[in-house]
A and B are shown apart, each in its own frame.
Chain A
Amino acid sequence: MTGFRIFQGVTLALVALTGAAVVFTRDPKRQVFIAGIYGALQGILYFSLHSPDVALSEIAVGSIALPALVLATLAKLEKVK
């Protein structure tokens, strides 16, 4: 049980770290990738908190769909420039 508690603590800390990293990254292109990692870590966090259902949707949406849509928008903006 203590091992699991450590796992929860580590993932919580990592989510906090990457969340801050998303905010402090200024270049949108880098930001997208860090946001994707943030989404995946959030998935692991939800898994560690006994909600695998939420973890699956978070991984699919947070680390695949959201970065893809933001990247597509960035590409469009670059084309307009």
Chain B
Amino acid sequence: MNSASRHIFFAIFGAALLAFLGWGMRGLSPFGHYPGPYGDILNAVASNERHVQNVVTAVVFDYRGFDTLGEEFILFASVTGVLLLLRKEKGSEDERCAPEPPHEKTAGVIDAATEDVTRVFSPGIIGTILIFGVYMVLTGHLSVGGGFQGGAILSAAWLMIFLAYGSEAFHSVSRQSILEWAEAGAAGSYVLIGCVGLICGRAFLTNVLPLGQTGDLLSSGTILLIDCAVGVEVTAAFVLLLVHFLKPLEEETPVRTP
């Protein structure tokens, strides 16, 4: 199919899609208008029922906790899939290649290319990111934040370590075995926290722990625990991804002869 006929096809079906979309959007409620009852009901009852200040977190980790469990295992499964694709087996094509001659530079290409400004400011930035990420994970039930957000922010600190201090430093703070245990353990502990409800004779993922005082750090029962589990899981999953995606760059460093 040549370019001109492709454009004609696009014009016809693009116009049809646009018309269909416009027709569909005419049926939507006006911008900013919320028609459903659930949000209003939850806003009214969640604070009293679950002792939380952030209703979103209560919905995500309690009222719809089972959905989030599936969501967490989507992340878990996709990271596992990526690691499976990027793995290097013994005797695979890459391994059989003759080892590259050792590099001239001792610190590796990335270290040499690190800007001074990155080096100077990175300790402050890494520290700020870490504290902010932990704060996000721990205060999901009190203010904006939660395990997913905090975990994604925390993994940025690892990226910063790679950028500022090079691959060796990055590797020393991200041992793969520890990360794998952390990821799997955190994902599993979500299920275990859910099973506590079953042991107490209630439904799976029922919030059976003491709820505490609204506004306290230690409050909201299982929400805080699940929040922390998700935070650890997301951080470990993202850092595992980083480890595997940054591996090809890291091979610029002197080859360790087996």
Contact = CB atoms under 8 A, between A and B. Distances in A.
A25 interface: no
Contact of B159 (A64, A75, A76): A64
Majority SS of interface residues in chain A? helix
B170 to A, nearest CB: 12
Interface in B27-57: 54, 56-57
Interface string A57-81: 1001100110011001101100100
B156 interface: yes
A48 to B, nearest CB: 11
Contact of A57 (B57, B152, B242): B152
Given A68-B242, A69-B241, A60 B249 contact: no
A76 B148 CA distance: 28
Contacts of B153: 56, 60
Interface residues of A, number: 16
B136 A56 contact: yes
Contacts, number: 49
Contacts of A52: 144
14 contacts: A56-B149, A56-B152, A57-B149, A61-B152, A64-B152, A65-B152, A65-B156, A65-B159, A68-B242, A69-B242, A72-B248, A72-B249, A75-B248, A76-B249
Given A64-B156, A72-B246, 20 more contacts: A53-B54, A53-B56, A53-B57, A53-B144, A53-B145, A56-B144, A56-B152, A60-B149, A60-B153, A60-B156, A61-B152, A64-B159, A65-B155, A65-B159, A68-B159, A69-B241, A69-B242, A72-B249, A76-B248, A79-B248
